[in-house]
Amino acid sequence: MAEIKIPELAESITEGTIAQWVKKVGDRVEKGEFIMELETDKVNAEIISEEAGVLTQILAEEGDTVQVGQVVAVVEAGEGAAPAPAKEEAPAAPKAEEKPAQEAPKAAAPAPVVEESGERVIASPAARKLAREKGINLADVNPVDLQGRVRVQDVAAHGTAPAAAPVAASNGPVIFAPAADTDRVTIEKMSRRRQTIAKRLLEVKQSTAMLTTFNEIDMTNIMALRKRKQDGFVKENDIKLGFMSFFTKAVVAALKKYPYVNAQISGDEIHLNNFFDIGIAVSTEEGLVVPIVRDANAKNFAEIEKDIAGLAAKARDKKLGLNDMAGGSFTITNGGVFGSLMSTPIMNGTQAGILGMHSIVNRPVAVNGEIEIRPMMYVALSYDHRIIDGKDSVGFLKTVKEMIENPEDLLLNS
């Protein structure tokens, strides 16, 4: 018999949420085979079986929070004969049942859950607990799960509880009870990734003196250069030349000129980074992630484009590893791909700055005293005013602008 435990993924990760089981009780598994996906604060990890055999027990359901080192399944030697259904965990039993018999009948006690059909309903311990508290018969709950497993979300959406007034948490945000008419409200549980994103963004807002400065860039020259070079670039490097490599190169040049934008605060110390690991924000179904282009100062345009494309593909496929996102000295985010004209990006983690790119829009501008229609992009630099003064922030953004408007200078710096 082999126990499947949640492995230690990184020092900062102590728990995760079971995203899905790809194997079910009774399935044959091979040594090293992927049997469960674990969602952590940073990445989704594939949990494998260390032994070959039959999955005989699943001890934690999808959606459950599990700790590093916790046993979540059992694999035993065999060829996959249909096993008996896994037993329900004893801790799911209500406390009222543990009291002496003479104390059991109380009017205030919630009605016990009884599957009147006589058939045991498959449900998570959390779902059974909530059903008992609400006096809901699990057999009456319509599960979303195709295999018929009842989860806590299914019980909560059963709609037996009356509408309640908003309840304020003692040390947190206001929490609203679901409406009685469930057709009017769709309730989704925040994923672990979304909870982490929300928590960290709030921490940045509360723990930094964040300020944003803006500028605009005439994209005429870089668009013309990109058009001239595109065919040869693709032929030579088997990847398209995008704007992100230009902006990454421009950011590196500006960071060298203004090193405090590439710094971090640690207690009462300022740590000036002598490396240029540039985070590139990538949008996924579960939220924004920021994989890192390592040593961007030492890479050419093709290498940067390939790094960005590879990291974006890994992000979409949920294949990013912890090393792909650890560290980073500065971040670039491009809201323009979604149509954003202007925004104030929030800094990433303990970094001191983030550059926001936006949509390229043809606008009338004054050029040598004449009005011309030019492709223009607003750019924004959000920065930590505790480290970076206005002079450096404006100078940094002005340097990025000058580099992009004169892209030949970037080629000379490569």
Q: If we measure between CA atoms, which residue out of 312, 249, 303 comes closest to residue 278?
A: 249
The residue from 238, 385, 392, 409 that is catalytic is 385
Whether 152 contacts 124, CB under 8 Å: yes
389 is catalytic: yes
Tokens of 223: 């668009």
> What gap in Å lies between CA 329 and CA 294, rounded to an integer?
10
Torsion sign across C-alpha atoms 277, 283, 285, 287: positive
DSSP code per residue over 101-133: GGG---TTSPPPP--TTSSPPPB-HHHHHHHHH
Mode of pairing for the β-strands spanning 71-76 and 53-58: antiparallel
Whether 74 contacts 4, CB under 8 Å: yes
The residue from 181, 268, 389, 409 that is catalytic is 389
392 is catalytic: no
Dihedral angle of Cα 31, 37, 39, 45, to the nearest 10 degrees: 40
Q: How many CB atoms lie within 10 A of CB 44?
A: 19
Tokens of 90: 């004893």
Q: How many CB atoms lie within 10 A of CB 385?
A: 13
Give the catalytic positions in this structure.
Answer: 385, 389
